[in-house]
Structure 1
Amino acid sequence: MFTLGIDLSTQSLTLSILNYKNFKNELNISVAFNSLEEINNSSMNKNTLLVDSDIEGKAEQDINIFLIALDKAFSKLKDKCNISLIDSIQISAQQHGHVYLSENYKKNLEYLKQKESANKNLIEILKDSYSYNGAPIWRTSCTEKEAEDLRKTAGGKEKMIQITGSDSPLRFTGAVIKYYFDNNKNMSENTYKIFLLNTFIASILTAKEDVAVDFGNGSGMSLMDYSKKEWNDNLLNSVSKDLKNKLGNIKNPSSEAGYITTYFIEKFGFDKNCIVGIGSGDNPETKVLYKGDILSLGTSFVYMLNIDENERDFSGVSNAMYDGIGNPFMIFCRTNGAMLWDSIMNLYGKNYKDITDSLKENINNLPLMLWQKENESVPISKSFDIKRYYEKANFDSDYKGIVLSSLSLIAEYSKKFNSSKKADLSVTGGPAKDIEILKIIANIWQCEVKILPSGGASLGASIAAILLLKENIDLDEIRDALRDKTVIEPDYNLSKKYEEYQKNMIEKFEELTKN
């Protein structure tokens, strides 16, 4: 009757319960990492949600925080619903994030199969499971050398894109693994297994060590042949000679990991016949929510549009992926997303109501402001400080300016892939709750904008979990039933001003990044 979607994001762990009989999202539960008492004793900074580092571009999170959040989220779920009615679970997790496991992990998994394991928590059970204590995540950008090494191994930029669907981005898992192995003595030898974050959660839920990499998340590793959906041995060997053994097989995202293990049955009340999938990344699982194009507004901004499996972006800006049920799509990921919007808001001591009011009162004002706090992929460029093209810094102009420029850059650099068709666009993420933000998106893309249901990647995972049941259920019917019926129309009277703004903005941006 119910499926469960789990999403392990940069800021929280979220659960979504879907009633697949009446097409209803019954419940969403979220545990924010910075709300956890344990974060005060964690290696993870409560404000940045990263482990502090002297190395620019190094981005890790505390694995223990993930495990605490999972236990706490399931405890909350137990209080709010009958967990035994959950028939299947699918998992979403921040793409490119991964963990390095030692041989001890195997014996700890075995303990999860024992009834007495329910008397402990996941941190206690898995405490000595790691060959490296941090989990590198998608914000990693200290891998320039390693990414270039992979590119050269493939035979250059064009070959790399043809093989993997991407031009060896800094944050992709292959370059990050190579960075850690090359810069930490004996780490490769001490690492028995490397799990992406979704397969790590699937492994824990099932107490199985042989959980495969899904080809959706595998697309974000710079190690997989995109069209063949299998590892490329040359790329693997350029990282480590035994990397294939550490990573395991590649399978469809809708593949089973196994049945839920005893720890979760005894502690939280799951039924022993509950099936767990191998899951995928947060972007692939979000794409499950809608057949058309999706703009996901989170810490980073992600624009996803459908493609043919053989299509490639040889400029290297975008990445070819597969969604959480195996369909090809293209992804444009702008690292400097809502975190910059919030930085401007906090700089002026404002709140979300202030933002809405400001945007509403300044509809015709199109201030040009550019800012990249971190190295960027859309388009590929270095970080730089705030650059204002107006006289005086003020909240109204700064906030509207960063909203306009960050969204317009995604629209501009993805244009060639949707220029032949009118965009069919849905929006998800926290800012999608603000009607004024949605109006701006409609004006930039010059198309109708629809709103995806709250829940995002976790709800997408709960839809994908239906496929594990092998029942004859139409996913399109469920997607249509869940979607908000509100449609935001563009203001065509403003369209000329937006076109002029975007032309001017791109000119200034390219001039700035060239210098």
Structure 2
Amino acid sequence: MAAPCYLGWDFSTQQLKVIAIDEQLRVIYEDNVHFDKDLPEFKTQGGVYIHSDRLTITSPVLMWVKALDMILEKMKSSGFNFSQVRALSGAGQQHGSVYWKKGSVQILKDASSELPLHQSLKDCFSVSNSPVWMDSSTSSQCSALEKAVGGAQHLASITGSRAYERFTGNQIAKIYSQNPEVYMQTERISLVSSFAASLFLGAYAPIDYSDGSGMNLLQIWEKVWSVSCLDACAPGLEEKLGCPVPSHSVLGPISPYYSQRYGFSPACKIVAFTGDNPASLAGMRLQEGDIAISLGTSDTLFLWIQEPTPALEGHILCNPVDSQTYMALLCFKNGSLMRERIRDDCASGSWDEFSKALSSTVAGNNGNLGFYFDVMEITPEAVGIHRFNRDNQKVSDFPKEVEIRALIEGQFMAKRIHAEKLGYKVKHRTFIT
């Protein structure tokens, strides 16, 4: 009998990835489908469509389904033994939403194993292009939602975040206001994560608490939909969302479609999928008091938190590992591009020179402090370069090595200060990736 294994899926912005691990957590298989390259018929750029207003950004739902068909066929061709899979779960890009047309649940349940899934589901979506996290076309809906519940801070206190344009409640409100007939034809609204789980379940999978708390709709304390937020977005919305569940819920066995077409065991379990950020917290095995910082184009900070204090900056999400605790998420737009610009200006474009200059100065930078925002920052909302000397006087420039340390110390101090505002207490480990 084949040794048991487990599949993990990642429905991200630019690709679909799969990984198989054995019971010792060793990777035994991995593969991916890159949307732009492997599915050129959808004509995406970076996995998305950027519409003419430059604010509306979507992805074709059927591309995600076809990518799943493609990757499963690749696994089959390679001789992968699907019967050894005991359970599967996964992650999806946060804030994307999928709109199932009335009657689609029956088509999903009865999909013929003779056909690739995307052929069976081609007419199942009332909105063919899903809004994704990059969309920023819902400013008026955000204002209306905050006003309806008594202001930005009150919305943050209910849902963990003030209104954000990419958050699903505001995207639903836009669809309802612009295309009410499309909204009325919709029987279920999924997040990308619960949509992906639905494909494997052969039924509508519930939204999990953690990804659900990135919608401006979930009461993060009680883990139920907020009636005032739902009512502000669209009528009859609770029924279309279903009941949220803990992120580690076992949803049921795999759809017979996969047993018949690929040879999965009918006993293979589907565990709730969650958002990509919560999945990162789970994957890094963070514990209470830990803090993780991902240094990229944007710097992202996330941490396990016991008693959060939702604020106008940052996000509080339900913890995917422990439903009684929370995770905080902060995003800083001026990340690696800002560091590279100072490297080019002060260290001849060399990271070695940059590191030597940093080492040549003392911690604390003799009281010299800088805040560096080439583009409008998210946290806090500020732009420009701001330098202060040890006497707290604003100055126009620093020596090169002082500039480098001011940048690094300023960026990390800002992360700590904003994390503490959300309720974080420094007491454990810091992970930097």
Does the pair score TM above 0.5? yes
Q: Tell me how far 1:337 sits from its aligned partner.
A: 7.1
- Provide the secondary structure at the position in 1 that maps to 2:247: coil
1:92-131 aligned within 5 A: 92-112=91-111, 114-116=112-114, 120-131=115-126
The whole-number CA distance in structure 2 between the counterparts of 1:228 and 1:80 is 46
Q: How many pairs are equivalent?
A: 398
Check whether the contact 2:213–2:318 (CA below 8 A) recurs between aligned residues.
yes
Q: Is the 8 A contact 1:102 1:191 kept in 2?
A: yes
Using the size of structure 2 for normalisation, the TM-score is 0.80
Residue equivalent to 2:50: 52
Q: Tell me which residue corresponds to 1:362.
A: 354
Change (3 A) 1:26 1:371: farther
Number of the residue aligned with 1:413: 418
How high is the sequence identity, in percent, across the aligned residues?
24
Separation of aligned partners in 2, 1:400 and 1:270: 55
**What is the deviation of 1:162?**
1.8
Task: Tell me how far 1:417 sits from its aligned partner.
Answer: 5.1
Counterpart for residue 69 of structure 1: 67
Match of 1:284 in 2: 278
TM-score, length of structure 1 as denominator length = 0.69
8 Å Cα contact 2:201-2:253 kept in structure 1: yes
> What is the deviation of 1:43?
4.7
How many angstroms does 1:174 deviate by? 0.6
Cα-to-partner distance string for 1:218-262 (whole Å, 9 max, x where unaligned): 111111111100011111111111101111111111122221113
Asked which structure has the greater RCO (Cα within 8 Å, sep 6+), the reply is 1
Kindly indicate whether residue 189 of structure 2 is the aligned counterpart of residue 186 of structure 1.
no
Q: SS of 2:374's equivalent?
A: strand
Counterpart CA distance in 2 for 1:378 and 1:70 is 36
Would the aligned equivalents of 1:256 and 1:277 in 2 still touch at CA under 8 Å? yes
Larger Rg computed on CA atoms: 2
In the alignment, what sits opposite 1:255?
249
User: Contact (CA 8 Å) 2:57, 2:134: kept in 1 or not?
Assistant: yes
Asked if 2 retains the 8 angstrom alpha-carbon contact of 1:43 and 1:62, the reply is no
Cα displacement (A) at 1:10: 1.4
Q: Choose the corresponding residue for 2:308, options 305, 308, 311.
A: 311
Does the CA-based 8 Å contact 1:7-1:15 persist in structure 2?
Answer: yes
Match of 1:227 in 2: 221
Letter in 2 for 1:378: T
1:43–1:52 Cα contact (<8 Å) kept: no
Opposite residue 322 of structure 1, the aligned amino acid is: C
Unaligned runs of 5+ in 2: 359-369, 388-395, 398-403
State the secondary structure of the residue aligned to 1:28.
strand
Cα gap change, 1:426 to 1:229, in 2 (>3 Å): same
One of 316, 329, 333 as aligned partner of 1:332: 329
Aligned counterpart, 2:158: 163
Name the counterpart of 2:26. 24
- Partner of 1:70, secondary structure, is helix
Gaps of 5+ in 1: 349-354, 392-398, 433-515
Q: CA shift at 1:138, angstroms?
A: 1.3
8 Å contact from structure 1 (residues 370, 405) kept in 2: no
1:50 CA drift (Å): 2.1
Q: What is the one-letter code of the residue matched to 1:361? A: E
Displacement, 1:298? 5.7
Counterparts of 1:402 and 1:31, CA distance in 2:
38
Indicate the larger mover: 3-12 or 258-267. 258-267
Q: CA RMSD, aligned part only?
A: 3.4
2: distance between equivalents of 1:400 and 1:57? 36
Q: Secondary structure at the match of 2:64?
A: helix
Q: Distance in 2 between matches of 1:258 and 1:363?
A: 52
Q: Is the 8 A contact 1:334 1:376 kept in 2?
A: no
Q: Report if the CA contact (8 A) 1:161-1:312 is conserved.
A: no
Letter aligned with residue 226 of structure 1: I
Q: Deviations over 1:137-185 (max 9, x none)?
A: 1122222221122222222223212211211222211111112221235
- Structural mapping, 1:143-158, within 5 Å: 143-158=138-153
Kindly tell me: are residues 362 and 339 of structure 1, through their superposed partners in 2, closer, same or farther at Cα, counting changes over 3 Å? closer
Query: In the alignment, what sits opposite 1:496?
Result: none
Aligned partners of 2:338 and 2:372 also within 8 Å? no
Aligned to 1:8: 11
For 1:402 and 1:188, locate their aligned partners in 2 and report how far apart those are by CA, in whole Å.
48
> Is residue 2:205 matched to residue 1:200?
no
Contact 1:9 1:94 in 2 (8 A): yes
Matches within 5 A, 1:73-88: 73-78=71-76, 79=78, 81-88=80-87
1:274 shift after superposition = 0.5
Q: Alpha-carbon deviations, 1:38-84, whole Å to 9, x = none? A: 22x21522xx4321212243221122221222222223333263221
- After superposition, what is the alpha-carbon deviation per residue over 1:389-415, rounded to whole angstroms, capped at 9, x for unaligned? 999xxxxxxx99999987775455325
2:393: which partner in 1?
A: none
Q: Distance in 2 between matches of 1:260 and 1:128?
A: 22
Question: Quick one: distance in 1 between partners of 2:20 and 2:254?
Answer: 17
Deviation at 1:343, TM superposition (A): 10
